[in-house]
Homo-oligomer: A and B are copies of this chain.
Amino acid sequence: MLTTLEYALLGLVGTSPMAGYDVHKLFSSTPLGHFSSSPGAIYPAMRRLERKGLLQAALDRSIETRPRRVYSLTERGAGALEAWLRQPVTREELIRDTGAPILRFVLGEARLAPAEVIAYLEGWRATSEAYVQELRGHLGRMDADRALHPRLALERGIRGYEGDVEWIGEAIAEIRSRLGRGAEAAGEAEHSHGEESR
């Protein structure tokens, strides 16, 4: 298993080859997963992935005096990335690696079929709903009057996961509606299949 940062790098490089500095710019200029844009995190991670054979580097000398190490995904890298993208959201991730579920969703757009994305979201929703139930259990077992702040904090947590459940529903609807429009548009050329399986 790789770190979440490493999967993010695989995913970014997988959408289009890029150098460490491009990743740095992405991380510092967009709210992408809220990763650190520090070179001390990015460059060593990309080297690790190269050493593991998941990324390969090509020296870009188009600007003579300032070479860029442009990375691209290897086949094994694509395999590792896709295997990860297909992992269902676990309870543990909801608690400790909260960035991973949404990162998989974002990176999944380029590499998973819509049906797979929907299945992934449904899994996420089920896990969230189960966890909400678990948290409600805690809430019920809390002595009523004492400890106001813990109760409020727990309510906030529950709301957050409920918000995700709601959002997932709307995301699925939006993906489905695109699927319909996409099928219409690509219908003539693609005979409306090739998107389902994969």
> How many monomers of this chain does the complex have?
2
A17 to B108, CA, bound (A): 48
Partner of A160 from the list B95, B160, B174 (CB cut-off 8 Å) is B160
Query: B108, A149: Cβ atoms under 8 Å?
Result: yes
Stretch at the interface among A52-60, A98-106, A190-198: A98-106
Within 8 A of B (CB), among A143-197: 147-150, 152-157, 159-160, 163-164, 167, 171, 174-175, 178
Chain B nearest Cβ from A164, distance in angstroms: 7
User: A34 near B: Cβ within 8 Å?
Assistant: yes
Contacts of A75 in B (CB 8 A): none
User: A138 near B: Cβ within 8 Å?
Assistant: yes
Query: A153, B106: Cβ atoms under 8 Å?
Result: yes
Contacts of A138 in B (CB 8 A): 30-31
Q: Mark A86-122, 1 if CB is under 8 A from B, else 0.
A: 0000000001101000100110110000000100000
Q: Can you give 29 A-B contacts (C-beta < 8 A)?
A: A31-B135, A31-B138, A31-B154, A31-B157, A32-B150, A34-B95, A34-B96, A36-B96, A98-B98, A102-B153, A105-B152, A105-B153, A106-B149, A106-B150, A108-B149, A109-B148, A109-B149, A109-B150, A117-B149, A148-B174, A148-B175, A148-B178, A152-B171, A152-B174, A156-B167, A156-B171, A159-B163, A159-B167, A160-B163
